[in-house]
Chains A and B, each alone.
Chain A
């Protein structure tokens, strides 16, 4: 099993759909992150969870709703998205939420909003 697994790898949805992205880490880490990667733009940090508690919400629109039921799983619930939300969504984990060490990334979920 790879360290950080994301599903689905690809997703196409309409603006009225509701879908969820899933991330699972098998590394025993305590912190998990959602990043958004758009073409030719820096990775944008969206959410940080440390020991299941949300410690960072980087001014993300409410149409993105994270959920962290335990330290190993992280979800990103999607609702009434806009075409500009089309991007690669990357999940990452680290040993702790201090973010002073290495981040371990999943392969990403490529989202296209029609």
Chain B
């Protein structure tokens, strides 16, 4: 099994709807990162979470890190076509130095 599991693998939502993407780690996290990737392009950093219970927002995107620091959720409010892309969570585990990534969640927003 992968060290970072993302769910769902893909998601189709109607414009204006809310959605949530989850990222679960098999190990305690030192830091959790959310990136967005437009299809076939590089990754754009969204936010980083480190403290258990931490919550950050970037425009209409909010991410939380649970208290036990092994799971994060990313929530998009009132989705727009511009939100479409691949959302990847990346993590550095406690005692580790490499950023590993989940397989990504492909988001499609129907206008």
Q: Report A's interface with B, CB cutoff 8 A.
A: 4, 6, 35, 40-43, 45, 48, 56, 88, 90, 92, 97-108, 110
A108 touches B99 (CB 8 A): no
The residue from A43, A48, A92 contacting B88, defined by CB atoms under 8 A apart: A43
Give the complex CA separation of A106 and B37 in angstroms: 11
Is B52 interfacial (CB 8 A cutoff)?
no
B42 touches A56 (CB 8 A): no
Is B98 interfacial (CB 8 A cutoff)?
yes
B43 touches A105 (CB 8 A): yes
B101 touches A99 (CB 8 A): no
Tell me how far the C-beta of A94 lies from the nearest C-beta in chain B, rounded to whole angstroms. 9
Tell whether A103 pairs with B97 under 8 Å between CB atoms, given A42-B4, A88-B40, A108-B40. no
B-side contacts of A100, CB under 8 Å: 30-31, 92, 97
A42 touches B100 (CB 8 A): yes
A-side contacts of B44, CB under 8 Å: 105
**Top 9 A-B pairs, shortest CB-CB distance:** A105-B42, A43-B101, A105-B43, A107-B42, A42-B103, A102-B45, A42-B101, A99-B97, A107-B41
- Would you give the 0/1 interface string for B67-111, flagging 1 where the beta carbon is closer than 8 Å to chain A? 000000000000000000000101010000111111110000000
B-side contacts of A43, CB under 8 Å: 88, 90, 100-101
B41 touches A98 (CB 8 A): no
Give the complex CA separation of A40 and B42 in angstroms: 15
B40 touches A102 (CB 8 A): no
Nearest residue (CB) in A for B43 is: A105
B31 touches A103 (CB 8 A): no
A106 touches B42 (CB 8 A): yes
A-side contacts of B30, CB under 8 Å: 100
Give the complex CA separation of A90 and B102 in angstroms: 15
